[in-house]
Amino acid sequence: MPTTTKQDTFKTINPTTGKEIASHAYMTDDQVEESIQQSHKAFLKWKMKSVEERGEIIKAIGKELQNYKKELAELMTDEMGKLLKQSNQEVDLCTAICEYSAEHAPKFLKNEERDLSNGGKGIITYSPMGIIYGIQPWNYPSYQVLRYTIVNLMAGNSILLKHASNVTGTAKLLKTIFDTAGLPAHLFNVLVIEHDQSNAIIEHDLVRGVTLTGSPVAGEKIGEKAGAQLKKTVLELGSNDAYLVLDDADIDVAVEKSVMGRIYNNGETCIAAKRFIATEKVYDEFKEKFVKAMDALKVGNPKNEDTELGPMAREDLREKIH
């Protein structure tokens, strides 16, 4: 669990071993302001690049992710406890996002001609906005970042990232990967900051959009703050997803899919199966087989090939669940 010290630092802890991974220092307000100014200057140059030019660098990022795959996957598993094989899958997904975005952005971002009601013609054009500030969670340490970063870079924007503190190492490694791939300096800046600093960033004149993936409570707060500043906002929030098991279900298949829906990514997924609703006809059979399958899961070191469920990401989360 990350802990703050008097030196304004915090530690990341491996949830599998309980041992410290690294110590990180929070940025000063002056450093945050410098990052914002750097990001804006980088944006002013980047927005003048063609979509095709941006795409070449985005494709290079996808390739560089594969060069760093082993290091990145192991770090994600060390920082938040997901199965190593699923960390490897996550890196592949991130590369796919880069490739897809680079290939399809020219079509998505091209001007659109529309007929107007008065018989004239109108043109819809997609222009870069500026700095996009992302507040991201720890459950998919790379995917959550790449998901909003890559499309915004393709659109000509620059990126500020506030990642969850327990995956700070992943955030910093992603920046290294981006830099190594040739992304111009300061188009992707990682901010190691506290909540008060984050609120000030939302209010900053140069920050043009805000995106959050997190809890509904966090979404309410960020949405309110960004709305008060008339900032473009995208919120992706948690839910209470239900699996329905109906009369004609193949119960063995239903159990298999329900267990996977519950435990994938250690169950720490926004759309994980959190409720199971079975009709009266199949309830007893489904319940018996589902409980038996969950009980048989092999819990252990997420780096072991036969492990099916790793540790929860942080000790405080475990205590809250209990």
Catalytic machinery residues: 236, 270
The residue type found at 132 is I
- Crossing angle of helices 51-67 and 69-80, in 10° steps, is 70
Which tokens hold the place of 194? Answer: 């506290």
Please report, for residues 12, 167, 227, 309, the alpha-carbon distance to residue 313 in angstroms, rounded to integers and kept in the order given.
11, 10, 31, 12
Find, among 187, 129, 198, the residue nearest to 159 by Cα.
187
Q: Where are the alpha helices (DSSP H) in the chain?
A: 29-46, 51-67, 69-80, 84-108, 143-154, 168-181, 195-203, 216-228, 251-263, 280-295, 315-321
